[in-house]
Structure 1
């Protein structure tokens, strides 16, 4: 007799780390909704109960024990109900041999009022933005549950990557007769990750010949943004369902006959004239800002508007994330600012609908220089980078004062290309509580801006068309100090994203006639400015190798 298809609900959840009350309330609410719709099973993401990542909270006994209490509470509510639940949480060894650090990244199978089985994640991430092996012990055993005629195997995130590991979670489940594998995950977004993730899942489905249900976390947590895009495949490697990106919601899977199966795809729509990844990246940044503010209790934002492209796109992202009413832009003309930059900033603010103020810094600048000159031997201040950085620091001082006095979080507007090269000022334009585009290369800043303008024209053409300039000295242009951004960003991607050494970068780009001296000097500056990047605000991650996933020593004499 053929097995009755399971009616499965996906809880693509956006938990908050440590908010056990809020997370539990949402989980119980969704279990109730799924049961009323007649679902047999509801599946939540990795660590949905406690939020993810938790870092050293995994080793706080009180944190783990509160999660275990909430898990029992959730299990008790399923007594007398027909629905089963798969839920990610943190488990801990019990008994006299247990240690504070004996924590496991775990999945609970909840049914009929109790936790029927617990699975411990077997493959732990060992690099980049996650260090699972530092905070958790690896599990040792596979887990298969018999449920209404089905044999369901449980896995967590990295377990799906068993093709490159000695431990083979999927192979073990196949040998135990699993005919459906559930993978709960908290896999963060970066450019192109959804395609890579999907390709990996489908290759494993075709290898092991069982369907996989992949349930991912959605929403922002500190620097990370989780994209969701939960998936259901059949055993032949076809996608039966694809949840939308960056969307927290409860979805239902209704098994259909193979011939009538359609792929439901509600991912971020593409727009004419934009690379496919640009709309997705923009939505990731909006999600990251919105959740960083919401989860940390911030209501209002402030940022400096320079008349340049970086502050323009950050203003757009902030307004889309928080509402224009919650954002204030401040332009602070200095001794070398053009009138055009001030007017462009004013037009931008008007287009977006944010509050706008003008606060010149010339008087503060002159006062500081006059005071400092009195202490020099010749009574003068020589033109120098220190005088340029002073202007940025005065602007940072002005913005931080407003941040404190008005209860607004300051958004830093530097991009990844600038942070890479140290083309930024400590305690000046680097000041703030969140660096929105600090992981976005300058060339992508322009693409994001054109994409946003394709929806509604907010950024004035003058901002898009002008040559980038910090306007800290007469007739200054970024390209006086940096290679053209098209060249610079290609060098940086090879060095940072691909982790190539200097010789290999030269070999790759020599074919495009990029001079080796330009490459060497670029990489020297990247290495030299590690100390600055250690002092940036939290940076939203949107590329495969974000700064906080790239750990380099400050004291380092190795030449690239």
Structure 2
């Protein structure tokens, strides 16, 4: 019987001092509880998403020194922990000192084994190959089969030797690689335990998949598997990731026998009988993390931790009376004291009494500070200054004046609210102001640069519009347990209210048809094999029902929205041009986005400002469809 401690700790990126102190406290607690082994996550000492901090030799030296402190603390316990392993006499592909993402095994005050990460992810937010030298590269350098380097770590506890298969995060997600680290470890075994040290960000529904994958691995090898993940918040500049922990233990049959609460720093203990491979413990059910509850938990946790990490205690939120700002305000109001939140309504002549009254009602329901600052006068002044001030061509002396179109006037309003008022109010209030944009708007640039696409954090920008509505209902029903967000806001037609053509009282709103475009844009952005207009048109040509099934939108919706191919293609091309055109320029300058989905804008969605492109096959199908539509 082994008593194992799962050190599901909050790792502070770039602070090996704080992380090491926390680990030492947990180690002492585990020793007091007579634990045999304590397991910490991947990169527990330095943190994981550090950008080019990995290029600082002095930082690497600190991480190494702090790692020795952890090793010294292993006098009465076996410790497994993640840290950077530095080969000072070697260099990586970039010419800098060679670094490995490694698992360290320590016992009796000595380093027992170091195991290097085999598989380096270089997709989504991961950038391992930029900084670290993998075991695959080591095998190539040494001209050895990689399987011969994947050796179990041997430890002796109470005069009995145990064989530990130590893997690091991606090593467990090996289905698409040509190397299977777990199979190689088992072949060089046998193994008593498989231990996966991870630093795996939260993604809605990912834990469900992880359980399927890791359960299968435990079942196929016949070896218990222990997965230990970090909690906390890390970022790569443009994208902010929460880490949910959800450390889990699987017996040899792949059944879950223990797990740690998600988004919670905790030191959990498990008595595991190696002889029975955990079969003596009853299997337990684990929460489904593909729910609106999980989504709320991740967003709430992410906002809270982000505010803590940047030291912000006061927040200004532009409150329009619409759904996005209402949800944003309701989220922040669960984290900060009401007197530290200032809600600002900034009406122009285009704002209805309906939305102004709803904004005031929401502010009252939340109990936050509230103010109304009309923008009509300043907008009119800006418009008159632009249209009334002549521009001179110095080459020939001719003069002309700009015409302020209705479209330009809309942008002036949006920028006046954010770049002038909210920014100034936030400075006076001693805080920052939020960006209320959702993912649908961000996809096609339906927001104004330096206007409503400004702020210190875009907390909702990884949520499609239908998810924002789901979150609104969840906040009312389960979080506040009362109607904080007025039902009228939820029922209101979404509208920017920047012109009389967007009058909510007349049922006029945004040009985006969210029940359809949410799913169309999602296919462009989130599908692992991303859809393009070619794919969309192929599915459409096979029948609207096929397209609806591929997109996941409501059945019958496409036919109701588009009378024929011409209207369908015009809509498709309009949004594709925006998605791959102006919206890219806007996204590059957008605030940091809080990540919750399988792909999020920012570093996770690496994009370049290129021209809009339609494939040859798309143009051919388009021609065929439109020829038959005449």
Give me the TM-score of the superposition, normalised by structure 2.
0.83
Deviates more, 1:424-433 or 1:219-228: 219-228
Q: Quick check: 1:199 aligned with 2:212?
A: yes
Q: CA separation in 1, counterparts of 2:96 and 2:573?
A: 48
- Contiguous gaps of at least 5 residues in structure 2: 139-148, 391-398, 549-557, 560-567, 616-630
Alignment of 1:367-378 (within 5 A): 367-376=381-390
2:361 to 332, 335, 347: 347
Q: CA separation in 1, counterparts of 2:109 and 2:260?
A: 29
Structure 2 counterpart of 1:558: 613
Deviations 1:294-327 (A, max 9, x none): 1222222211111110011111111223343432
Q: Quick check: 1:321 aligned with 2:321?
A: no
Deviates more, 1:325-334 or 1:459-468: 325-334
- Contiguous gaps of at least 5 residues in structure 1: 270-275
Q: Quick check: 1:365 aligned with 2:379?
A: yes
Give the total of aligned pairs.
548
Structure 2 counterpart of 1:333: 347
Q: Quick check: 1:156 aligned with 2:156?
A: no
Structure 2 counterpart of 1:85: 79
Q: Quick check: 1:356 aligned with 2:364?
A: no
Alignment of 1:83-232 (within 5 A): 83-95=77-89, 100-139=96-135, 140=138, 141-147=149-155, 148=157, 149-177=161-189, 178-222=191-235, 223-232=240-249
Q: CA separation in 2, counterparts of 1:127 and 1:459?
A: 38
> Are residues 558 and 120 of structure 1, via their aligned partners in 2, closer, same or farther at CA, if it must alter by over 3 Å?
same
Deviations 1:404-451 (A, max 9, x none): 232212210000000111110000111111110111100110011111
What's the secondary structure of 2:316's corresponding residue?
Answer: strand
Query: Does the CA-based 8 Å contact 1:101-1:136 persist in structure 2?
Result: no
Deviations 1:183-222 (A, max 9, x none): 0111111221111111111122222221110111112223
Deviations 1:480-520 (A, max 9, x none): 65341010011012111111121222344532436343223
Structure 1 counterpart of 2:536: 505
What's the secondary structure of 1:7's corresponding residue?
Answer: strand
Deviation at 1:253, TM superposition (A): 1.3
Deviations 1:265-300 (A, max 9, x none): 57479xxxxxx5211111111111111111222222
Query: Does the CA-based 8 Å contact 2:580-2:612 persist in structure 1?
Result: no
What's the secondary structure of 1:450's corresponding residue?
Answer: helix
Structure 2 counterpart of 1:279: 293
Q: CA separation in 1, counterparts of 2:515 and 2:101?
A: 42
Deviations 1:3-30 (A, max 9, x none): xx21111111111111122111111111
Structure 2 counterpart of 1:261: 281
Query: Does the CA-based 8 Å contact 1:144-1:176 persist in structure 2?
Result: yes
Give me the TM-score of the superposition, normalised by structure 1.
0.93
Deviates more, 1:254-263 or 1:391-400: 254-263
Structure 2 counterpart of 1:517: 570
Deviations 1:511-540 (A, max 9, x none): 243634322322222111111110100001
Q: CA separation in 2, counterparts of 1:438 and 1:380?
A: 34
Deviates more, 1:415-424 or 1:477-486: 477-486
What's the secondary structure of 2:335's corresponding residue?
Answer: helix
Query: Does the CA-based 8 Å contact 1:58-1:136 persist in structure 2?
Result: no
2:492 to 466, 486, 489: 466
Q: CA separation in 2, counterparts of 1:523 and 1:96?
A: 47
Deviation at 1:96, TM superposition (A): 6.6
2:592 to 514, 538, 547: 538
Q: Quick check: 1:387 aligned with 2:406?
A: no
Q: CA separation in 2, counterparts of 1:156 and 1:325?
A: 45
Query: Does the CA-based 8 Å contact 1:435-1:537 persist in structure 2?
Result: yes
